Chains A and B, each alone.
Chain A
Amino acid sequence: MKKNICMSLIFILSLLLSACSLKQDVANLYKQEIPLESEIIIPESISVNKNETIKVILTQNGKKVEGADFVHFEIGKQDGSVKFNMEQAEEEGNGRYSLSKNFDSEGLYYIKVHASNAGSIIMPQKQFVIGELSEGEIKFLQKGLPKQQESHQKHH
């Protein structure tokens, strides 16, 4: 009798202590998305008044995306003083889509790629610099400071 109680005591305690945790790949058991992935390639240095080519490589489910539903490039200056029209990128094959652009002023730019394929829509954006930044653009960069990082900075 006592032995039985001891046994059940050990059993219950071990149950109590071994709280269940989730399996690593448990998400595979449920509905899964196949998100489009992108890599935006901007030339190392961009000069003004020269044709520069900006590329994006699209992959989905580990494969390069051929014939995406759409790939549009939206380019402009972060301070809003320059904004190009949204343009369709040209498919180069092997998942690459590109667009040539002539920039006529220095400053802080962004490119936002709007792309869609097989049900996944993405809009990644990358920031890049041509030449030097103006005073206002530096201010803009500093304003975008995430708050939690700012408070960290104060402690150091």
Chain B
Amino acid sequence: MKEVNVKATNQNQKQTNSSLYRTIWRWHLYAGIILAPFLFILAVTGSIYLFKPQIEQVIYQDYYEVTPQGEKIAASAQIEHVKNLYPDAIIKKYRPGENTMRSSEVSIASNNESLTVFIDPYTGESIGELNNDDKIMNKIEEIHGELMAGTLGDRIVELAACWAIVLIVTGLYLWFPKKKQGLSGLLYPRLNKGKKILRRDLHAVPAFWVTAGMLFLILTGLPWSGFWGSNFQSIATNSGAGYPPSIWSGDAPTSKIKTKDIAEVPWAAENLDVPLSKIQGYISLSIDDVILIANREGLHPSYTVSIPQDTDGVYTLSAYPPKAQDEVTMHIDQYSGAVLADYRYENYGLIGKMVAWGITLHTGTQFGFINQLVSLLVCLGIILVTVSGFYLWWKRKPEKGMGAPKAPSIKNVKFSLFLLIGLGILFPLVGLSLIVVWLIDWLIIQRIAVVKNFLNA
């Protein structure tokens, strides 16, 4: 095994002797080994999550489908029914259902749990409830977005995504032909040149093919990451080119009313404990009026109504249908019914539009089944590349040590130093991780001979 490695190294030195090549190889190897498990998880969960619409349609069919019969019952009556079933619950959202065959949904908070109650809008009866934490797709999304580890997980995923860009750039450099060799080994694998060559080609060739798709998934996924994404969105919104406020970040407008003008509600059960004068005042619009406004303003029928929870809150109608162009976020004054903000796709800034398209393309809804299929191929490609890359290293590495090329002093490779600093500024988490790597190198690896030899540092 050691011999193989020496041979490979010799061969490589013939190919190019520059310290740049070795540095980049070294970075690609270490970053790849650390990142492979994360990229693997992201690609596997992503492949499943892509088909969320179809999967949920099958497993929740009984909750979703209703038989149309006559007129639909008023939304207020449906919500009243839910209130009777869950007397202690807070009503959070109402979703009317996008067509005549679709049940309506009432989202409630009850005993610190988020439940969705499905209602047959023709009978007004509850079809069943789902705890949002129990939804399998929510779990998949949680793994994909934060490894089920909350904020820390979110940052790790973000870091993995940023570092994957480093992998792509270094990988492309290593893949790029150093001499004329035809297209074999570049665009298609060399099947009859021995196992070593085949192993290399099974990593490098598919990696090249998925590069564009992978980069696209990273760039479209990053804007919704917790740290880089939030800041990116805020900067975009502040510049006027992003999403209007309240869609991604920022507060919704408030209902314009003085608290003293709102009709008070008596507490006590038997007698009226509030002076009559306080009962007089403005009262909130009923949800039925809000539905009327929604119909008048022409929203995509898959919209959801968020119920105001404070005296100055607003009714927020939002729809995130499969196609980005159909998105809408509308805020309605809960007392006057005035439309306080009406943001459609056309009202997004250029960056906002791009991010919106990015999201629907990333989740595979924008172009339907074809979109899902292409994204699935990219995911499967990423899985193949992570596995073959790991296998390649495993077969090549000597018994002792990592098998990484010797690290040249960073001072000799100014170019990559600048590249890393640049990346570190563009993606502060990468910068932070670089500092950590540098500290580990400086404090541990360089001082302990065994580790230094193992890592060939």
Q: Do A and B come from one complex?
A: yes
Name A's B-contacting residues (CB within 8 A): 1, 5, 8-9, 11-13, 15-16, 19-23, 26-27, 29-33, 35-38, 40, 42, 108, 110, 120-129, 133, 138, 141-142, 144-149, 151, 153
Known: A29-B240, A129-B276, A148-B90. 7 other contacts (CB 8 A): A8-B421, A16-B428, A31-B343, A126-B282, A129-B279, A141-B272, A147-B90
Do B265 and A12 touch across chains, with their CB atoms under 8 A apart? no
Does the CB pair A22–B250 fall under 8 Å? yes
Q: Which residues of A contact B235 (CB under 8 A)?
A: 20
A13 and B237 CA atoms in complex are apart in Å by: 23
- How far, in whole Å, are A40 and B309 apart by their CA atoms in the complex? 24
With known contacts A12-B435, A27-B245, A125-B282, A19–B339 Cβ distance under 8 A: no
Given contacts A12-B432, A30-B244, contact A20 B234 (CB under 8 A): yes
| Residue B151, interface by CB 8 Å | no
What residues of chain A lie closer than 8 Å to B240, measured between beta carbons? Answer: 29-30
Chain B residue numbers with a CB within 8 Å of A26 are 237-238, 245, 250
Within 8 Å of chain A (Cβ to Cβ): is B285? yes
Please give, as numbers and ranges, the residues of chain B lying within 8 Å of A124 by CB-CB distance: 282, 335-337
| A128 neighbours in B (Cβ, 8 Å) | 280
- In the complex, A129 Cα to B272 Cα: how many Å? 13
- Determine the main DSSP class of A at the interface with B: mixed
With A19-B231, A30-B245 as known contacts, state yes or no: A123 contacts B339, CB within 8 Å.
no
- Taken residue by residue from 258 to 290, chain B's Cβ proximity to chain A (1 for < 8 Å, 0 otherwise) reads as 000001011101011000100111110100010
Residues on the A chain within 8 Å of B421, using CB: 8
Please give, as numbers and ranges, the residues of chain B lying within 8 Å of A108 by CB-CB distance: 279
Query: Do A22 and B335 touch across chains, with their CB atoms under 8 A apart?
Result: no
How many Å from the CB of B360 to the closest CB on chain A? 20
Q: A149 to chain B: which residues have CB within 8 Å?
A: 265
Q: Contacts A12-B424, A20-B238, A147-B89; is A35 near B338 (CB within 8 Å)?
A: yes
B283 cross-chain contacts in A, Cβ below 8 A: 110, 125-127
Alpha-carbon separation in the docked complex, A140 to B349 (Å): 47
23 pairs of residues in contact across A and B, judged by CB atoms under 8 Å: A12-B435, A15-B425, A16-B432, A20-B238, A22-B245, A22-B249, A27-B245, A29-B240, A30-B343, A30-B349, A31-B342, A33-B338, A35-B338, A38-B336, A40-B282, A122-B338, A126-B282, A128-B280, A141-B272, A145-B265, A146-B265, A147-B88, A148-B309
Beta-carbon contact of A121 and B337 below 8 Å? yes
Residues from chain B with a CB closer than 8 A to the CB of A33 are 338-342
- Are B343 and A126 in touch, CB under 8 angstroms? no
Report B-chain residues with C-beta under 8 Å of the C-beta of A138. 266, 271-272
